[in-house]
A and B are shown apart, each in its own frame.
Chain A
Amino acid sequence: MADLVKFTIDGIELEAPAGTLVIEAAKKNGIEIPSFCYYEGYSLQAACRMCLVEVERMPKMQVACTLPVGPGMVVRTNTPQIQAARKGTLEFLLGNHPLDCPVCDKGGECELQDMVFRYGAGESRFTETKIHVDEQQWSPVVFYDAPRCILCFRCVRACDEGMGVGALGVINRGAVSLIAPNMQDHLNCDECGQCIDICPVGALTSGTYRYQTRPWEMEHVGTICTHCSDGCKTTLGVRHEQIMRGNNRDRSGINGEFLCVKGRYAFDFYDHAERLQTPMVRNVAGKLEPASWSKALEVVAKKFGEIKARGGRFGIVGSNHTTNEENFYLQKFARECLGTNNIDHRRTGDVTTLVDALSGTSGTLATTADLYEKKAFLIIGADLSIEHPFLAFQIRANYRHHQAHVYTVTADEVREEKTAVRAIRKPRFQEFDALPELRDALAAEPNLVILFGDSVKGEDVRKLVAFGESLGIPVSYCALVDYSNSRGAIDMGLTPELLPGYHASGTPGLNVGEMLAATDLDAFWVIGENPLENAKLSTKRPFVVVQDMFLTETAQKADVVLPSASAYEKNGTVTNGCGEVQKLKRAVSMLGTKPDLEIIGLIAKEMGFAPRMGPWLPDTVFNEIRKAVKGYDIPLPAITLGAQQTMPVNGRVGVQTNPDLVASAHENLFTSGTLGRYSKILNSVIEKRANQ
């Protein structure tokens, strides 16, 4: 901790660690010093000149965003001279800035508007011709309206420093300077939209949101992104039961204001034209035809009842997008009501072996915050920036702010190599061979986080943990998994061999592969997963029930299709890849659909299991989870506002799981399984990239 320095701002005596910038010291004490170019976490510019302050014994006004506090420093932020300077600078800005606020997307939440309101002049003295440049579209996501640009260079830094992409630059000189994309007239980038988000004015606008609404017409619902397993909070702007945009400007989640293209734009699968909005039942002619919910549920319950009564065989596949409550409820229904352990989901990383290998330890599972705070990182077999953009963002920020040491062992070139102290290329499954040569360097680090992909599984995970232990420094781990609740699905016992909390299930049932291979299944029930995308059931004509948002390959084979709600249409909790539990909050409702929790509950009720299953209320089910699953006994307020990490095991896991079942889909920035297929924006980005 740096020494504390005493100083005065506007007559208030304050203290801050040496090196603190005046603008930050003021902000922490509730004194606003306006600025455009200063942006916490990014490099200093001192370009906008809005943050000028007076400092005693300094003849000229000083820039608060580059001036560190000094002992005895006396700063004034609101003198007539300062007021005049701010007013003058805003007048300069408004000179060329178009006053098209009524149609500008940013109107109402524009920093320039706010500044002019607070510090600016009431009238304009500019009567010259403005410089006009036509608007440009740089990608399906990004539009640039140059005249509105105030050249604060936030976007350039967000892209270069924040994202490690560097797709934006400044061309020309002086008043005709422009922000420019890396491919002359278009962008080749992550399409994350951070540049748009960080733009203080309406110069960069989003292809999906522009000219759609006024910001004050929306309600803002903070929920968790349903795509990858990083667990970013996305604040959805909702108007008339329609999601207009996603962002996280209030930095309220674990991800601060970070969002990738999926979190920011790819909510748009939810209102895809092919979204299922009515149950369907296969008729005598063998065609799926619309049916009422009561009819469809009756068919399912009746058939399930018959199969159970005759001791028939169920195969149940759950999802790693559905909530913890839904997964817990599903396995409970399967095991306690249908009497089967034939339940599984797609496993994308070997979490089970990791938590087993770490049993008895604490603080050994890395949190997302750790990625910004720990000193060293070993990334094995993963293209982090592409598959886990937020985790990569954290490590990048850590490198930028704390010079974190990054080590990579990957098959191909990865973005992390640019800032790595050591980057080693090894083919998949041979990554271990690189560890001996890293040993000395890693052992010299004060602490280490190891992140590993699906090529490290089974015994390799134990070997990796043993390697970590042998370094003699604190090591924590993250098994990278694919989807928003992959981790939660395992924790909730969506496997044939493990119950919630990693207790052995006794008699293991069938895993997904075995269900597909079995020739004697009586019922195949799939919730939010698409196992028949590239596979066939070996059983001839079992009773197939599918709960999904879309008529997937699996749903096309179903006898009954039940339209389910998306993550943005329900409440509940999800657990991200780092084991952090967060709450989903319903943003919109989709007519005709029901959350999977309710659907399972209704089937159970129809079958007479309602008393056994309890109500299908997320909070009630979560209370059950708190009792049943170690580590989930967390206070509700903790996850109402934020995230809390779980460590679901502190003793050995009862059963070894088969590493062959672990395989990541290696979704990239622009793919996201079924959801990705129905996202208009992801498809348009993919198409644009293919055309170039």
Chain B
Amino acid sequence: MTFSPELEARFERFLAKYPADRKRSALIPMLIYGQDEVGSITDEFVEEIAKRVGVTPLEVREVSGFYSMLHHKPMGKYHVQVCTNISCLLTGGEELYERACHKLGLGHKQVSPDGRISLEEVECMGACSWAPAVQINYDFYHDVTPEQLDKLLDGLKAGKDPEQITEVPKVNC
């Protein structure tokens, strides 16, 4: 299995972070960064990473199944994650999620037929004071109003990338 030169370089950096006999420490970072490129935790990817960190494929699968950000089926190019945990629940997170379901015609962890958009109801993403919060891939959107959500989702559906939806800017620096 081959990866992009950038990902290869990243893997190399990851492996160099840990003591030489502790390559396994790089497993989870490699899985999550690798997933961004590969699309999901595929069997081939599992085999490859297992080889690189010196464990069995089963040991990789034990790990990959544990972490909720690792997906065994590809999510959309834009993975919309709506938090409905307590602080977001109190500020309209559940309504946002239901709105997104209707707007996208998708349920929890479902992907649009064109593979562009997927939806997930997620647990607390650490944006409680700026609730309700939404993440698209790794980008945060805070204090999201139903109108803003509509703009985001309509934009995505219209084929725009999140960066092009300037009315609703992401908030991470």
A residues whose Cβ falls under 8 Å from a Cβ of B: 166-173, 180-182, 184
Contacts and interface: CB of A to CB of B under 8 A. Distances in A.
A182 B58 CA distance: 5
B56 A171 contact: no
A110 to B, nearest CB: 27
Given A172-B66, A173-B66, A180 B56 contact: no
A168 B61 CA distance: 11
Contacts of A184: 43, 61
Interface size on B, as a range, is 10 to 19
- Which of A168, A169, A181, A182 lies at the interface centre, i.e. has the most chain B CB atoms within 10 A of its CB? A169
Given A171-B61, A172-B66, A180-B61, A166 B56 contact: yes
Main secondary structure of the interface of B (DSSP, over half): helix
B122 to A, nearest CB: 15
Contacts of A171: 61-62, 65-66
A168 B58 CA distance: 8
A168 B62 CA distance: 10
B59 interface: yes
Contacts of B58: 166-169, 180-182
Contacts of A170: 62
Nearest to A172: B65
B57 interface: yes
Given A182-B56, A184-B43, A169 B66 contact: no
A180 B68 CA distance: 18
A511 B62 CA distance: 56
Interface of B: 43, 56-59, 61-62, 65-68
- Which of B56, B58, B61 lies at the interface centre, i.e. has the most chain A CB atoms within 10 A of its CB? B58
A164 to B, nearest CB: 12
Contacts of B57: 182
Given A182-B56, A182-B57, A169 B62 contact: yes
Contacts of A169: 58-59, 61-62
Contacts of A173: 65-68
Given A171-B61, A182-B56, 20 more contacts: A166-B58, A166-B59, A169-B59, A169-B61, A169-B62, A170-B62, A171-B65, A171-B66, A172-B65, A172-B66, A173-B65, A173-B66, A173-B68, A180-B58, A180-B61, A180-B62, A181-B58, A182-B58, A184-B43, A184-B61
Nearest to A188: B58
Nearest to A184: B43
Contacts of B56: 166, 182
Q: 9 shortest A-B CB distances, which residue pairs?
A: A171-B65, A169-B62, A182-B58, A169-B58, A172-B65, A173-B66, A170-B62, A171-B61, A171-B62
20 contacts: A166-B58, A166-B59, A169-B58, A169-B59, A169-B62, A171-B61, A171-B62, A171-B66, A172-B66, A173-B65, A173-B66, A173-B67, A173-B68, A180-B58, A180-B62, A181-B58, A182-B56, A182-B57, A182-B58, A184-B61
B166 to A, nearest CB: 38
Nearest to B65: A171
A169 B55 CA distance: 13
- Which of B43, B62, B68 lies at the interface centre, i.e. has the most chain A CB atoms within 10 A of its CB? B62
Nearest to B64: A171
A170 B62 CA distance: 5
A313 to B, nearest CB: 59
A131 to B, nearest CB: 16
Nearest to A171: B65
Contacts of B61: 169, 171, 180, 184
Contacts of A182: 56-58
Contacts of A166: 56, 58-59
A171 B66 CA distance: 7
A168 B59 CA distance: 9
B108 to A, nearest CB: 14
B114 to A, nearest CB: 29
Nearest to B60: A169
Contacts of A168: 58
A461 B66 CA distance: 53
Contacts of B59: 166, 169
A60 to B, nearest CB: 27
Nearest to A156: B62
B15 to A, nearest CB: 22
A182 B56 CA distance: 8
A539 B68 CA distance: 75
A171 to B, nearest CB: 4
Contacts of A181: 58
Nearest to B67: A173
A167 B61 CA distance: 12
B62 to A, nearest CB: 4
A167 B65 CA distance: 16
A659 B9 CA distance: 58
A224 B8 CA distance: 56
A167 B62 CA distance: 12
Contacts of A172: 65-66
A165 to B, nearest CB: 10
A170 B59 CA distance: 9
B73 to A, nearest CB: 14
A270 to B, nearest CB: 35
A181 B62 CA distance: 10
A270 B115 CA distance: 58
A479 B97 CA distance: 71
B13 to A, nearest CB: 28
A377 B123 CA distance: 53
A494 to B, nearest CB: 45
Contacts of B65: 171-173
Contacts of A180: 58, 61-62
A144 to B, nearest CB: 14
